[in-house]
Amino acid sequence: MPPVLNFATPTTSLTTMPELPEVETTCRGIAPHIEGQTVKQVIVRQPKLRWPIPETFSRTLTGLRIQSVSRRAKYLLFTTDSGTVLLHLGMSGNLRIMPTGQAIGKHDHVDFVFNDGTILRFNDPRRFGAVLWTTEPAEEHPLLKHLGPEPLLSDFNGELLYALSKNRKTPVKSFIMDSRIVVGVGNIYANEALFMAGIQPTRHAGKVSLAHYRKLAESIRVVLQQAIEQGGTTLKDFVNEAGKPGYFQQQLRVYGRAGLPCASCQRPLTEIRIANRSTVFCSTCQR
């Protein structure tokens, strides 16, 4: 029987939302426990998530074998012979692996019960998460079809950003947070990556040079990769603990540091709002 494992429970005030690194860590964390397993039953205690869980969901999944667990943007995909489960953690969701017989807590909305007694439990206080089923190829699903490339794969690079940014007057920060351009660049990571690349967040996307976009693509990769590595550490720390894991602790250079000295030039960092999101940058180092 597996111990109780917790994945991606946001607990600090920095942000409350699972971002791509938390979803990636969740994916890596749950995969070894459920890949190859056959679904015995799905217990849906609360079907009213962001979209209702279909009434037939449990019946559909019972007896199916999970071939693989993967991630696309912030969706977890459980692939079976006859279709795919799309699971989104929303604003506050988390998944735990546990043996049968654990007490059911508040907001424990869905249990995936497997033949060997392992349970994958979905908890989501705010219920913006989603548990969906599709028999189409997952990449054709309306929620996934129009998404841009994965930032950690090689088809994402400076050339792509540069090509897509032509004549765009939108701030470069909003541009890289647009999931049709690239997925998974949340507000914190956008702030950090722009600082690392030396680009002012308000710059029109169409005015950023190819050289800067190359730097930016690399910076996005680095900040996400660092968070995933931190997540791995966090995960290790919390294995076998029934308590709450912390949100990924990460060295942030600009986000949440308005008015504090820039790590590079020591001048105070500036805070503005772009698309109503906190935007912190160094007006000296970022041009």
The 57-76 contact track toward Zn ion, x by CB under 5 A, reads: --------------------
Q: How far is the CB of 255 from Zn ion (least distance, A)?
A: 15
For residue 188, state whether it binds Zn ion (rule: CB under 5 A): no
Binding of Zn ion at residue 287 (CB under 5 A)? no
Map residues 117-156 to x or -, x wherever contact with Zn ion holds by CB under 5 A.
----------------------------------------
Q: How many residues appear in the chain?
A: 287
Is 277 noted as a catalytic residue in this protein? Answer: yes
Catalytic, 74? Answer yes
User: For residues 277 and 253, what is the distance between their CA atoms, to the nearest angstrom?
Assistant: 17
Longest dimension (CA), the chain: 61
Say whether 72 is catalytic: no
DSSP character at residue 197: H
State the catalytic residue, choosing from 71, 72, 74, 96: 74
Residue 224 tokens read as: 């996400």
The yes or no reply on residue 53 touching Zn ion (CB under 5 A) is no
Q: Does 196 engage in binding with Zn ion (CB under 5 A)?
A: no
Please tell me which residue in 18, 151, 171, 245 is annotated as part of the active site.
Answer: 18
Pick from 15, 102, 170, 284 the residue near Zn ion by CB under 5 A.
Answer: 284
Q: How far is the CB of 253 from Zn ion (least distance, A)?
A: 10
Check residue 282 for interaction with Zn ion (CB under 5 A). yes
Q: Which residues contact 56 (CB under 8 A, 6 or more apart)?
A: none
Q: Which stretch binds Zn ion (CB under 5 A): 21-29, 152-160, 196-204, 275-283?
A: 275-283
Closest CB 279 distance from Zn ion, rounded Å: 15
Residues contacting 111, CB < 8 A, separation 6+: 41, 42, 43, 45, 119, 120, 121, 122
Amino acid 95 reads L
Which residue has the closest beta carbon to Zn ion? 262
* Cβ closest to Zn ion, residue 58 vs residue 270: 270
Tokens of 131: 């548990």
Number of CB atoms found within 10 A of residue 144's CB: 19
Q: Give 200 or 250: the residue with its C-beta nearer to Zn ion.
A: 200
Known catalytic residue at 96: no
* Contact characters 235-274, Zn ion, x per CB under 5 A: ---------------------------x-xx---------
Torsion, Cα 232 234 239 241, to 10 degrees, reads -170
Of 247, 223, 226, whose CA–CA distance to 235 is shortest? 247
Among 167, 196, 161, 198, smallest CA distance to 182 is for 161
For residue 178, with 0-12 CB atoms within 10 Å meaning exposed, 13-18 middle and 19 or more buried, which class applies? middle
State in angstroms the smallest separation of the CB of 264 from Zn ion.
4
Strands 84-88 and 39-44: unpaired
Q: Does 285 bind Zn ion (CB under 5 A)?
A: yes
The nearest distance, CB 265 to Zn ion, in angstroms, is 3
Point out which residues bind Zn ion (CB under 5 A): 262, 264-265, 282, 284-285
The residues carrying an active-site annotation are 18-19, 74, 277
